[in-house]
Structures are given as C-alpha cells and as structure tokens.
C-alpha cells in the first residue's frame, strides 16, 4: 500500500482537464493521461512542464492555494518582491515574475500534492444501525 494518498482523480475535474490539454496529453480520461505521463504521484518535472497552466488555471482560481504558494515563494526570496500583491491580478503578476526553478517547483509541488491528497481522504466508515437496535 502506498504511503501517500495523492490521486489525480481527486483534483477538481476542470483543473485536471486543463492541465492535460495544456500538456497536449492524449486520451479519453485526462486523469489517466496525466498518470501515464507523470506517474501516480507527480514530481518536480511535472511542475517544470506544467508551470504556466498551474499558474494560470489552478492557482488563478484557487485562492487558498495561491495565498499559500505566494507566502512560501516570498519567504524563499523568489520573484519580484518589490510591489504590493493585494489583488488577484497583483498575485498572478507576482507569480509570473517567478522563474520556473527548483525552489518554485518544490513549493508548488508541495501544495499541489496536498490538494490531491486532501481530496483523497477516505470518509469515515458508517455502520448502519442493526435490526436489534431499532
């Protein structure tokens, strides 16, 4: 049994579809295409290849993930830190100022995996009441 719970199918379907399309992956199921190309659990090469789509499709629409990634990037001293990043547009512009380098890839991958793992959490087992308890 794997030690992780990341699952491509657990990510928002729109994000999976846009990532697969932006990477020109073929197949009927975008999650299967991503899995075939990048494995059951993506690594930094995935972020290297998909950074524009991750930035413009996933992070542009996922405010909590965007805020976390920006906080981590700024703490690491990456990107143009000389301006305010209050609005969504400012935040996207800041992300565009960050070079697709190892530090960025590690930060973005960590958040991406957390989203795919959190979404994969198994719901608690619900035991129906027995006939004796009714």
> pLDDT tier at 83 (50, 70, 90 boundaries)?
confident
Give the pLDDT of residue 4: 64
Q: Is residue 84 part of a domain?
A: yes
Q: Is residue 89 part of a domain?
A: yes
Q: Is residue 3 part of a domain?
A: no
Q: Is residue 2 part of a domain?
A: no
Q: What is the dihedral of CA 24, 59, 71, 87, to 10 degrees?
A: 130
Question: pLDDT tens for residues 23-60?
Answer: 999 999 999 999 999 999 999 999 999 999 999 999 99
HSE at residue 76, side-chain half, CA atoms within 13 A, is: 18
Number of domains comprising the chain = 1
Residue 63 CA to chain centroid, in angstroms?
12
Could you tell me the residue range of the domain that residue 52 belongs to?
8-119
Q: Is residue 92 part of a domain?
A: yes
Q: Is residue 69 part of a domain?
A: yes
């Amino acid at each position: 049994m794997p030690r992780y719970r990341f699952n491509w199918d657990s990510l928002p379907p729109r994000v999976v579809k846009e990532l697969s399309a932006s990477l020109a992956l073929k197949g009927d199921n975008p999650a299967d295409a991503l899995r075939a190309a990048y494995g059951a659990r993506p690594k930094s090469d995935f972020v290297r290849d998909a950074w524009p789509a991750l930035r413009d499709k996933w992070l542009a629409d996922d405010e909590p993930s965007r805020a976390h990634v920006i906080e981590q990037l700024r703490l690491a001293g990456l990107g143009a830190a000389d301006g305010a990043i209050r609005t969504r547009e400012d935040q996207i512009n800041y992300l565009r100022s960050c070079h697709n380098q190892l530090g960025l890839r590690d930060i973005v991958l960590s958040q991406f995996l957390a989203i795919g793992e959190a979404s994969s959490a198994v719901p608690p087992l619900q035991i129906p009441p027995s006939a004796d308890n009714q």
